[in-house]
Amino acid sequence: MMGGNAVLPMDSYRLAQYAVQVPCFICESGNSFDAEVCRHCQAPMALAHQANFQKVPPRLIGTIGAADAGKTVYLGMLADILSQPGQDLQLLARGAFSVSLQQMTISALSNCEFPEKTPNEPERWNWIHCQVNAARKKNPLDLIMPDVSGEALIEEVDHPHTYPVIRAFLSRCSGILMLVDAVRLMEGEKDQDFFAMKILSYLCELAQEAKTGWAHRPISMIFTKADLCETCFEDPREFARKHAPGLWQQCEQRLHKHRFFATGVAGACAQQRGLGGVRQVPLRIEPRGIVAPFRWLIDQVG
């Protein structure tokens, strides 16, 4: 429409853009084309826009565990290792937002700190959308992996539908990296075992299809902080049987594709006392066993 010597866009054209709904990649709810996060589940809409340009939709991989199990550190360190040249398994981030978790983790560890706890609000989670290239595979694999809050996860397990994004995401996942704190198990704390049992029960009830349910999807059981209990590295499966009997029994009876792994990031830690209480400080960074559980999962998914 002409106005004097200026050309003004017609408002009807702008309204037409809002008439076409863009489905969220996680929960498939409709959103406006300029929405930053999904109005229903708060997942980033950038995932949907990127997936629209791909012939094969990305696979979803869950990284879950109790609060303080080490999910953020593990996922950030995994992304950093696989981003380095010379690896037979290479990770290429898609979108600037996919680098945030790696940057935050490595920056914190470089300053002898652990990353801040993942907030409960889904819109504040870090998501990784990446392409994984394996030397022995012809085609790359596109993956989406969020850093899910442990507190939000247990809230959803105890009270289903509290966090729609968690339910929608886990129901569509192709595989899962489940993290369990090995040190707490070694010290006799049962909460880690109970939490893992709850998660497995939730997953099996979430997708019960005979051939495609969670009983037949791959799950890597990862004992974190294992550098502080060497017996876990020696035999992760036996460690699970001895220190997490509930988890071990559920895996044996309900899962057809699972394997136990042990990982560590901080070769040595110290305790620092302050106004906020006692906190762990990483003295040196020595990644150990980080890639193995992810590699096994990729082989199963791919």
- Position 55 scores a pLDDT of 79
- The one-letter amino acid code at 182 reads A
Domain limits, the chain: 58-203+213-301
For residue 244, pLDDT beyond 90: yes
Reported as a pLDDT band with limits 50, 70 and 90, residue 18 is low
Contacts of 302 (CB under 8 A, 6+ apart): 134, 137, 141
d(CA 67, CA 271): 19
User: In the structure, what pLDDT confidence band is assigned to residue 276 with cuts at 50, 70 and 90?
Assistant: low
Percent helix, strand, coil in the chain, to 5, is 40, 25, 35
Q: What percent of the chain has pLDDT over 90?
A: 65
Give the 3-state secondary structure of residue 209.
Answer: coil
More confident residue, 189 or 2: 189
pLDDT in tens, 63-90: 999 988 999 999 999 999 999 988 889 9
Token pair listed for 4: 């004097």
Cβ-based neighbour number of residue 11 at 10 Å: 9
**The pLDDT of residue 229:** 87
Q: What is the average per-residue pLDDT within 264-274?
A: 75
Whether 211 has a pLDDT exceeding 90, the answer reads no
| Distant-in-sequence, close-in-space partners of 164: CB < 8 Å, separation ≥ 6 | 27, 40, 41
How much is the pLDDT for 34? Answer: 87
* pLDDT above 60: residue 13: no
Average pLDDT over residues 273-283: 68
Q: 58-203+213-301, what's its fold?
A: Rossmann fold (3.40.50)
pTM across the whole model: 0.88
Cα→Cα distances 139→21, 87, 132, 142, Å: 32, 16, 9, 10
* pLDDT exceeds 60 at position 4: no
Q: What confidence score (pLDDT) does residue 237 get?
A: 96
What mean pLDDT do residues 169-190 have? 94
User: What number is the average pLDDT over the span 265-285?
Assistant: 72
Phi/psi class of residue 42: alpha, beta or left (left: φ > 0; alpha: ψ in -120 to 50)? left
